[in-house]
Amino acid sequence: MRNDEVAQVFDEIADMLEVGEEANFFRVRAYRNAARAIRDCPRQLADLDAKALGEIPGIGADLARKIQTLLETGSLPLHRDLQAKVSPGLLELLRIPGLGPKRVRLLGERLKIRDAADLKRAAEAGALRTIRGFGEKIEERILQSLARFEAEGVKRLQYAEAEKLADEILAHLKKSPAVECVEIAGSFRRRRETVGDLDVLAISAKPERVVERFLKFPPVRTVLGAGQTKATVVLSGGLQVDLRIVPRKSYGAALIYFTGSKAHGVHIRRVAQDRGLLLNEYGLMRGNKTIAGATEEDVYRALGLDWMPPEMREDRGEVEAAARHQLPALLRLEDLRGDLHTHSTWTDGRASIEEMAKAARDAGLEYFAMTDHSRRLAMAHGLDPARLAEQRREIERVAERIKGITILRGIEVDILEDGRLDLPDQTLAQLDWVVASVHYKLEQNARDMTRRLIKAIRNRHVDVIGHPSGRLIGRREPSNFDLGEVLRAAGAERCALEVNSQPDRLDLIDTACRAAKEAGVKLVIASDAHHPRDFALLKFGVNQARRGWIEPAEVLNTRPLKSLRQRD
């Protein structure tokens, strides 16, 4: 079982405990905390012994045993027992806004509802309002939600898509004179790879005017709630947007609160508590006296903490590092001097080498590697040694004409099924930069894929492994391999790993970046540009690396050209 599957079991246990009358709320929380810790864990649980399992924060003796049972037998008695009491269809209902564990339990007990279809029938028949605590409004809202789920399902937007909507919302609100300041908080500000909703935070002395303006944002389709200082809407694309308005003196505290993550917030409120203080979205208080609140820096400082970039706020050790004043100085987009993965019309790119060179120069880069596909990708007109030699002459001609940018002669060579490469070593030896990537047979078992990647890493001509997991967000799962072993090999061979900046790849993921950092493996932030405008995608790769605590010195393409290659 993979980590995310174990985490899923624990999350389901938490849900089922809640829906079925578990009296101890903290027991429920323990399972949820454990699920999160397991998802964040960069190493596969299967590789850890009981002692190492217990060292994961939030995993104690009992949960360590349960993890081992899960890994050995594939299931857990507690999980099966609970499933007998609470049907899976009932758990699905928790995703409906307005339905939490208490109401779902009542639905099951009083109306014998077992799934969404039962719920729809009961709501349409007006049966829900016979339960104490349910009324017409809830009934109506449930029907609306069910209709929406049927129409489009529940989805998270990729960060890049969310960014477009975020810009529109900000522009709309900024036109109101009542708005003194506005920005997007939440997972968007933390630059998570996907965003489930947008949290808009504004400063205003006339909050009701801001709410009014917000509700007039043209894409608003449904208003789920609107009060004095907050409102919630759903846009026509299905994205939920929450607005909160706070006074200026509370802005920093509110920004911390609504940026999250939830786990980060819990942690720093505990820090406040330990100091006899109370932290909420209005400020940091000692008794009735507010001691900080206007800026994030003020609040963190009053807690003895350095300011943490939002990308780090996942409760993955950043609070402890901030207390020790040992936060990393994270990579910034402007630290990148070059791009090391691009394509042209020689294979599946959309622009000539000359157009790409001009675009790279205009994007402020000093160098870029032209890395078209190798021959195996026939679909993309992959290059064989002869065409590669032709392309080399073309690059030399372009280099003569276009000044202010250096073009490296490169390749994105395919890693074949057994780990051999798609071009002979003597061909690779003539190139300045070699990206090696897996493009087919992604569903190999973990042992074979690990061997395949390590064999490629050990080829002395390979500089970096491209999009190492092959995952496509929302469409294709990452391939199975042992990250620890791959990192060890990459470290020993001084081979880098790529953070591919395509919005649907963002591969490596954040926790794997962090694991690479800890293993001393260097990264490359690359656009994988297929079009001149794609150099702008580099910022998304930078976001992902920042979430993995990556600093400039850990990224090869922050280096000047002459010190680029690790193995020379």
Partner DNA sequence: GCCGTTTTCGGCCCGACTGTTTTCAGTCG
Please report, as ranges, the residues that interact with DNA according to CB under 7 A. 24, 26-27, 29-31, 33-34, 54, 57-64, 78, 94, 96-104, 129, 132-139, 141, 186, 197, 199, 225-230, 240, 242, 258, 262, 265-266, 269-270, 272-274, 278-282
C-beta closer to DNA: residue 96 or 119: 96
d(CA 319, CA 300): 10
For the CB of residue 68, give the shortest distance to DNA in the complex, in Å: 12
In the complex, the smallest distance separating the C-beta of residue 189 from DNA, rounded to whole angstroms, is 12
* Helices (H), ranges, 99-135: 101-111, 116-124
Question: Smaller CB distance to DNA: residue 133 or 218?
Answer: 133
Please tell me whether the peptide bond between 508 and the residue prior to it is cis, using omega within 30 degrees of 0: yes
Q: DSSP per residue over 304-369, as a string?
A: T-----GGGTTTSSHHHHHHTT-------GGG--EEEEE--TTTT-SS-HHHHHHHHHHTT-SEEE
Integer Cα distance of 176 and 212 in angstroms: 10
Shortest distance, CB of residue 162 to DNA, whole angstroms?
15
Supply the minimum distance, in Å, between the C-beta of residue 23 and DNA: 10
Which one, 104 or 415, has the nearer CB to DNA?
104
> Considering beta carbons, is residue 29 or 451 the nearer one to DNA?
29
φ, ψ (nearest 5 deg) of residue 330: -70, 150
Closer CB to DNA, 100 or 364, in the complex: 100
β-pair type (464-465, 496-500):
parallel
Residue closer to DNA, measured from CB, 230 or 565: 230
Give the number of residues written for the chain: 568
What are residue 242's DSSP bridge partners? 199, 232
Looking at the Cβ atoms of 17 and 454, the one nearer to DNA is 17
Q: What is the 3-state secondary structure (H, E, C) of 220-268?
A: EEEEEEECCCEEEEEECCCCEEEEEEECHHHHHHHHHHHHCCHHHHHHH
At closest approach, how far in Å is the CB of 66 from DNA?
7
Q: Which two tokens stand for residue 404?
A: 């202010």
- Least distance (Å) between residue 4 CB and DNA: 19
Nearest distance from C-beta of residue 308 to DNA, angstroms = 17
Q: Which is nearer to DNA, 10 or 368 (CB)?
A: 10
Q: How far is the CB of 217 from DNA (least distance, A)?
A: 17
Residue 40 burial class via C-beta count within 10 angstroms: exposed 0-12, middle 13-18, buried 19 and up = buried
Quote the Cα angle for 251-257-259, to 5°. 95
